[in-house]
Amino acid sequence: MLSKIANIFRVPDLKKKVLFTAFILVLYRLGSFIPVPGVNPAELAKLFSPESSGGGILGFVDLFAGGNLSRASVFALGIMPYITASIVIQLLGSVVPYFEKLKKEGAEGQKKITQITRYGTVLVAALNSIGICVMLLSQPNIVTIDKSFFFVSTIITLITGVMIIMWLGEQITEKGIGNGISLIIFAGIVARLPQEIFQLFSRVASNPSIGNIFMVAFILLAIVVVTAAVILVTEAMRKIPVQYAKRVIGRKVYGGQSTYIPLRVNTAGVIPIIFAQSVLMFPITILRFFNPESTFVGNWFSPGTALYTIISMILIIFFAYFYTAMVMNPVDMADNMKKYGGFIPGVKQGKKTAEYINRVLVRITLPGAIFYAIIAVMPDILFRVLGVSLSVLGGTSIIIVVGVALDTLQQIESHLVSRHYDGFMKRGKLRGRAGR
């Protein structure tokens, strides 16, 4: 591992990409501490505390915003509007013929989809900023300036912040290393790790009892085990063998090779968790709007309660299947295999192949969805049982951090392998010239 890290800085092109990515992430973190005018930070922090009636819901939104929402910074909305718009456009690509046509147009179609996603991001950001302004104005002692001025200026500021974050993410993707949007979320989560670790150990320092020491040791061990399990499930895949028949075209022979279709245990990734939490937030927000003191929401339908946990897990499993069905089309896969002379050994081409792939997807998606559902609700359960907040050290945060870290490391590895391959090619050319 250390030698690979050292190799990054020996390759000029890769070194430039890594340093550029780090520079953009530093800019993002600096912008995270520029506050929106007219907000009382002490009162706002109370609203986001886990003990607050809305802390669990707002805390989930704040997780993707990198803690910017709880600070009411210019980046308070984070990258969530872009994620929401991207998911909606991606789902429309499987339903609306226009978007489906754009997906098949290659690079030009992708440019149009990207542009539509940007417009959608601005629309979602406008709706979200209006909701945040209404929420802050409805709470006592949070807004300290004229309400009309605060409403207009905050909406403009938050929309601009989302557009800046989107631009920073695109710059990383184009000129840096890794997926820019994912790395921005990753940076926000990692930046909050020291604070949560400090809070965990300060509990032992304030009351150094045997029970607290064992509890912290158990939590740290559980985090290590859960992280290892998430890595295992994230990388796990089912390989379906595919054989291509030999075809003679002119004087050349094509095909006759063996390969496989890699089907991941969790194709949907963290998206089902985002969908499930969004669906659950909607009725809770409506209930609190009409009845802020609702005992049903506080006692039965808030994060950590049995009803909320059960419904959340069911929704995560449902959306895992839903999203997998949207992005994986066994019929198209079977048709493409048949078109190029490929077949799964022991399975007839066409409809039987599609049914086989679909059956495999259904079977492998279930354990992955159940595992992610358990990981997602784990922090809420631990807070209810142990009174310890692990929004960053556990749950959705671990899934995001592991997924982004693995993807970025794979891209770095591919750059290093490509560099070595180019080196071999250059040596071969030099040797060939010397032989002449």
Tell me the CATH number at 299.
1.10.3370.10
93-107, 190-204, 250-264, 327-341: range with highest mean pLDDT: 327-341
State mean pLDDT over 231-245.
85
Asked if 87 and 76 touch (Cβ cutoff 8 Å), the reply is: no
User: Within this chain, do residues 118 and 225 fall inside the same structural domain, yes or no?
Assistant: no
Residue 318 lies in a domain: yes
pLDDT of the residue at 284: 63
pLDDT tens-digit profile of 167-204? Answer: 998 899 888 888 888 888 888 888 877 777 777 777 76
Residue 205 lies in a domain: no
User: Within this chain, do residues 233 and 146 fall inside the same structural domain, yes or no?
Assistant: no
- Token pair in block for residue 264: 């991941």
Domain boundary among 163, 191, 219: 191
Residue 319's closest CA among 267, 386, 258? 267
Residue 413 lies in a domain: no
Residue 50's closest CA among 294, 285, 381, 293? 381
**Rounded Cα–Cα distance for residues 397 and 389 (Å):** 13
State mean pLDDT over 408-415.
81
Residue 57 lies in a domain: yes
pLDDT tens-digit profile of 75-90? Answer: 888 888 888 888 788 7
Residue 57's closest CA among 382, 291, 222, 286? 286
Residue 328 lies in a domain: yes
pLDDT of the residue at 160: 92
Query: Quick count: other Cβ atoms within 10 Å of Cβ 304?
Result: 16
Phi first, then psi, for residue 268 (nearest 5°) are -80, -20
User: Within this chain, do residues 141 and 52 fall inside the same structural domain, yes or no?
Assistant: yes
User: Within this chain, do residues 291 and 327 fall inside the same structural domain, yes or no?
Assistant: yes
User: Within this chain, do residues 22 and 156 fall inside the same structural domain, yes or no?
Assistant: yes
- Token pair in block for residue 250: 């002119």
Reply yes or no on whether the pLDDT at 274 is more than 80.
no
User: Within this chain, do residues 36 and 174 fall inside the same structural domain, yes or no?
Assistant: yes
User: Within this chain, do residues 169 and 268 fall inside the same structural domain, yes or no?
Assistant: no
User: Within this chain, do residues 186 and 238 fall inside the same structural domain, yes or no?
Assistant: no
Tally of domains in the chain:
2
pLDDT of the residue at 392: 60
Between 330 and 44, the higher pLDDT residue: 330
User: Within this chain, do residues 221 and 176 fall inside the same structural domain, yes or no?
Assistant: no
Residue 43's closest CA among 143, 132, 151? 143
* H-run or E-run covering 35: none
> How confident is residue 426, by pLDDT bands cut at 50, 70 and 90?
very low
Residue 7, domain extent: 1-191
User: Within this chain, do residues 278 and 168 fall inside the same structural domain, yes or no?
Assistant: no
DSSP 254: E
Reply yes or no on whether the pLDDT at 52 is more than 80.
no
User: Within this chain, do residues 128 and 94 fall inside the same structural domain, yes or no?
Assistant: yes
Query: Quick count: other Cβ atoms within 10 Å of Cβ 220?
Result: 14
**Rounded Cα–Cα distance for residues 160 and 34 (Å):** 13
pTM above 0.95, yes or no: no
Q: What percent of the chain has pLDDT over 70?
A: 80
Reply yes or no on whether the pLDDT at 389 is more than 70.
no
CA angle 281, 285, 286 (to 5 degrees): 120
Radius of gyration (Cα) for the chain, nearest Å?
A: 25
Q: What percent of the chain has pLDDT over 90?
A: 3
Between 301 and 433, the higher pLDDT residue: 301
Reply yes or no on whether the pLDDT at 425 is more than 50.
no
Domain boundary among 139, 164, 191: 191
From the centroid of its chain, how far is CA 417?
Answer: 27
290-294, 315-319, 386-390, 430-434: range with highest mean pLDDT: 315-319
Residue 122 lies in a domain: yes
**Rounded Cα–Cα distance for residues 137 and 212 (Å):** 40
pLDDT of the residue at 400: 81
Between 110 and 257, the higher pLDDT residue: 110
Residue 135's closest CA among 39, 37, 42, 279? 39
Asked if 63 and 96 touch (Cβ cutoff 8 Å), the reply is: no
CA separation (Å) from 47 to 33, 91, 249, 363, 407? 19, 34, 70, 42, 35
Residue 409 lies in a domain: no
Domain boundary among 160, 191, 222: 191
Query: Quick count: other Cβ atoms within 10 Å of Cβ 74?
Result: 22
User: Residue 228 burial by CB count (10 A; 0-12/13-18/19+): exposed, middle or buried?
Assistant: exposed
User: Within this chain, do residues 256 and 171 fall inside the same structural domain, yes or no?
Assistant: no
Listed range (146-150, 211-215, 294-298) with the worst mean pLDDT = 294-298
How confident is the prediction for the chain on average, in pLDDT? 78
Residue 300 lies in a domain: yes
